[in-house]
Structures are given as structure tokens and as C-alpha cells.
């Protein structure tokens, strides 16, 4: 991920720092394309170091490009950092203020007392919004595979008596598709549970003549997919069918305004205006979408108060929903890429009603 390293080094220079110590798993993966439970990356404007223990050292040497690999062995992290910093005329060290524990910070402050520590919140968040062609390709593959998982679930739906049995099958199919696991715990919500946006999948029996909401995603090569559809099993409640069509219209309308250069808030406002028009505004209780990448929720938040401009190659979800307690809910979610020409919809599963 040489391009990612260069992007981060530019941010370090912009922040007026001499170096930056990364500790969060997401940023470590972003910079190295390598996963480890015990690693640190120290970046300077012109070089970088990946520091890990013996469990990962050999593999890291073979797989990581653009960073010098250093093993934590007899030397402790403190000694390694001091050796690098002192040999490169460093005065300031940035760190991820929102990603470290108080104890780690206190230890860092004590051990690097001769250096000025500068904590930064959300470092690289803005950089990670704009995806490279490779990142978009990986996410697109993950989305396609997630589509296939959902279609297989529909084919087998009669075999699953409970919400948890559906989730177990989702996990199984994710692995069959080559994913490394769920990008988040799948939400399977039958009947009135579908009116709770983040219902915790339970052992409740799948009810007939009610909606079934399925929200799931997979991890593929370190990147996430996200997908939601609401389907109907048995007879369709007329009120819920009306709600479904409103949510579908909101999704289509929100997607229609997507284009690099527009205010991000316009996407949410367009979805919300459709739902408001039909009198369901109070039942749309979350933002229209969110960025997606290494983490399932990344910047930007697609909401009516986000004044930021939508950048080219931003990958994000569009997922309006209406949730009526005691009746049920509907959410329809696609993954979209912003281009200069307009939206590129990665999700291929239709938004049309699925009736089983």
C-alpha cells in the first residue's frame, strides 16, 4: 500500500509533525495491508517502520512493502522508538489520541519525555474517505459476493425456523464465498423486530405474514460490504407494502443526486424529503448512509447536517428506512461509489419487493 503510505506522510507534513505513531488496527492495515494483534507503525515524512513481535515478524517481512520491519525481541518498544527518533532528528511525535488507552498514553509520555507528543483525533479519516481503484475493486467483489449470499438465503428460506438459524447460514455462505467473516454481526429481524433498526438477532421463530429484515456484510481482503433488504413471507400487510414503496422511492431519489462535488447533506435531504412527503418522517430515525471500507462505518456520515463536499471515489451506503413500533420496519441498502458523472451502484440485488 505504497500510495497509502505516501498519503499518510503528506498528512504528517500538513500537520507540522516530524513523525507519527499509529496503533489502531484499521490504520495499521490501511498502511501495511497486513493484520497483527501486536504492531505499531512509526512514519516519518520520508520513511516508515513496522514494529511487531516474533509471531508476525517473518510473515510481515514477506508481505509488507514500503516499511522497514523491526522485531520486538530483547529490545522493548521504547528502545526501538528512541533509536529511530534520535537517529532522524525528530522533535514532535503524533499519535492517535482517540485510539489509545490512558495507560498507553501515560507510558508513552514517560518513555518519550524528551519529545513533544501531539495527540490527533481522527488522523487519516479524511484521507481514507477517497478510495483507490484497488480498494473500490475489493469492495465491489465483496458486494457481489454478499449479493450471492442473500440470493442463496432466499432460495433456502423455508429451511430456517429462527433468526439465528438464518444468521448461521449467512456466516457459512460468507466463508464459502471466500470472505474472512462478517463485517458486523448480521441483523435478522422478523415481524415487529424489524421496527428496531439495530435489532440483535435472536432465537425468535420466523413469523409468517410479516416482514423479514436482513442486514449483513462480509469482510474480504480486509474490506467490508454492507447490505440490507426487507422481504415479505406469506401475506403482505398493505401498510407495510406502502412503507416499502416509500423507502424504495427514497433510496432511488437519494441515489439520483449522487455526484462528486455536491454537498453530502443533499443525499440525506433528498431521501428524507420523500419520506416526509408521505407522512413518515418521524419514523426515519437514522442517517441515510455512511462511508464503508476497512471499517464498516467510516467517514463520511451521510446526514442533513454534513456540509462537506462529496469527493470522487467515496464509497458509501444509501439506506433509508421507516420503522413503526408494533407493526414492523423496512430498510433498503445499497453500496454506491461517487464519480464525476454520477452514482455507480455496486449492489446488484433489485430494490423490488421480494415476496415469498
Within a domain: residue 221? yes
User: Residue range 243-257: average pLDDT?
Assistant: 98
Nearest to 322 by CA among 239, 238, 220: 239
Within a domain: residue 255? yes
* CA distances for 181 relative to 63, 165, 187, 216, 346, angstroms: 21, 16, 14, 11, 20
Whether residue 349 is predicted with pLDDT greater than 90 in this model: the reply is yes
User: Residue range 314-341: average pLDDT?
Assistant: 98
89, 185: one domain: no
The Cα 67–Cα 61 span in angstroms is 9
pLDDT value at residue 244: 98
pLDDT value at residue 76: 87
The Cα 33–Cα 244 span in angstroms is 40
140, 29: one domain: no
How many other CB atoms sit within 10 Å of the CB of residue 7?
19
69, 171: one domain: no
CA pseudo-torsion sign 233, 152, 134, 4: positive
pLDDT value at residue 55: 95
Domain of 223, in residue numbers: 130-345
User: Residue range 239-264: average pLDDT?
Assistant: 98
Percent of the chain predicted with pLDDT > 70: 100
Last residue of a domain, one of 128, 162, 186: 128
Whether residue 228 is predicted with pLDDT greater than 90 in this model: the reply is yes
Strand partners, 114: none
pLDDT value at residue 301: 98
How many domains in the chain? 2
267, 329: one domain: yes
User: Residue range 139-159: average pLDDT?
Assistant: 97
Last residue of a domain, one of 128, 151, 172: 128
Q: What is the CATH number of the domain that holds 75?
A: 3.40.350.10
Whether residue 75 is predicted with pLDDT greater than 90 in this model: the reply is no
120, 178: one domain: no
pLDDT value at residue 74: 74
The Cα 352–Cα 236 span in angstroms is 14
How many other CB atoms sit within 10 Å of the CB of residue 179?
23
262, 232: one domain: yes
67, 27: one domain: yes
Last residue of a domain, one of 94, 128, 162: 128
106, 148: one domain: no
DSSP structure string for 231-298: EEESSPPHHHHHHHHHHHHHHHHHHHT--TTSBTHHHHHHHHHHHHHTT-GGG--S-SEEE-SSSSSE
pLDDT value at residue 73: 86
Q: What is the mean pLDDT of the chain?
A: 97
Within a domain: residue 204? yes
Nearest to 154 by CA among 81, 101, 230: 230
186, 310: one domain: yes
32, 146: one domain: no
CB 73 within 8 A of CB 56: no
Q: What is the CATH number of the domain that holds 245?
A: 3.90.230.10
State the angle between helix axes of 133-156 and 163-176 in degrees (0 to 180), rounded to the nearest 10: 130
Within a domain: residue 200? yes
Within a domain: residue 356? no
Whether residue 282 is predicted with pLDDT greater than 80 in this model: the reply is yes
Within a domain: residue 355? no
172, 274: one domain: yes
Within a domain: residue 350? no
Q: Is 16 helix (H, G, I), strand (E, B) or coil?
A: coil
pLDDT value at residue 289: 98
pLDDT value at residue 105: 95
The Cα 49–Cα 21 span in angstroms is 10
User: Residue range 262-289: average pLDDT?
Assistant: 98
Strand partners, 116: 92
C-alpha cell belonging to residue 306:
454534513
Whether residue 1 is predicted with pLDDT greater than 90 in this model: the reply is no
Whether residue 86 is predicted with pLDDT greater than 80 in this model: the reply is yes
Within a domain: residue 352? no
User: Residue range 325-354: average pLDDT?
Assistant: 98
149, 190: one domain: yes
Amino acid at each position: 500500500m505504497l500510495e497509502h503510505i505516501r498519503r499518510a506522510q503528506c498528512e504528517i507534513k500538513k500537520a507540522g509533525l516530524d513523525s507519527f505513531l499509529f496503533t489502531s488496527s484499521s490504520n495499521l492495515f490501511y498502511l501495511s495491508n497486513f493484520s497483527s494483534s501486536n504492531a505499531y507503525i512509526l512514519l516519518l515524512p520520508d520513511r516508515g517502520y513496522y514494529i511487531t513481535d516474533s509471531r508476525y515478524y517473518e510473515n510481515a517481512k514477506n508481505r509488507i512493502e514500503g516499511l522497514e520491519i523491526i522485531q520486538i525481541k530483547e529490545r522493548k518498544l521504547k528502545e526501538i522508538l528512541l533509536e529511530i527518533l534520535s537517529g532522524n532528528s525528530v522533535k514532535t511525535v503524533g499519535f492517535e489520541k482517540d485510539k489509545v488507552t490512558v495507560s498507553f498514553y501515560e507510558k508513552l509520555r514517560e518513555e518519550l519525555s524528551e519529545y513533544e507528543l501531539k495527540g490527533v483525533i481522527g488522523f487519516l479519516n479524511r484521507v481514507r474517505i477517497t478510495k483507490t481503484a484497488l480498494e473500490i475493486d475489493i469492495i465491489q467483489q465483496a458486494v457481489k459476493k454478499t449479493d450471492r449470499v442473500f440470493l442463496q438465503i432466499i432460495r433456502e428460506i423455508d429451511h430456517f425456523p429462527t433468526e439465528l438459524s438464518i444468521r448461521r447460514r449467512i456466516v457459512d455462505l460468507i466463508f464459502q464465498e471466500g470472505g474472512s467473516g462478517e463485517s458486523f454481526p448480521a441483523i435478522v429481524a422478523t415481524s415487529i423486530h424489524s421496527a428496531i433498526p439495530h435489532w440483535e438477532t435472536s432465537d425468535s421463530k420466523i413469523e409468517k405474514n410479516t416482514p423479514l429484515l436482513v442486514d449483513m456484510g462480509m469482510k474480504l481482503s480486509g474490506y467490508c460490504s454492507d447490505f440490507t433488504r426487507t422481504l415479505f413471507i406469506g401475506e403482505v400487510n398493505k401498510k407495510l407494502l406502502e412503507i416499502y414503496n416509500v423507502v424504495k422511492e427514497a433510496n432511488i431519489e437519494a441515489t439520483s443526486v449522487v455526484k462528486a462535488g455536491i454537498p453530502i447533506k443533499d443525499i440525506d435531504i433528498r431521501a428524507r424529503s420523500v419520506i416526509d412527503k408521505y407522512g413518515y418522517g418521524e419514523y426515519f430515525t437514522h442517517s441515510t448512509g455512511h462511508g464503508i471500507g476497512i471499517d464498516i462505518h467510516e467517514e463520511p456520515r451521510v446526514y442533513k447536517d454534513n456540509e462537506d463536499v462529496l469527493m470522487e471515489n467515496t464509497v458509501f451506503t444509501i439506506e433509508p428506512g421507516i420503522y413503526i413500533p408494533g407493526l414492523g420496519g423496512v430498510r433498503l441498502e445499497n453500496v454506491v461509489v461517487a464519480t464525476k458523472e454520477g452514482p455507480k451502484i455496486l449492489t446488484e440485488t433489485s430494490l423490488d419487493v421480494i415476496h415469498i
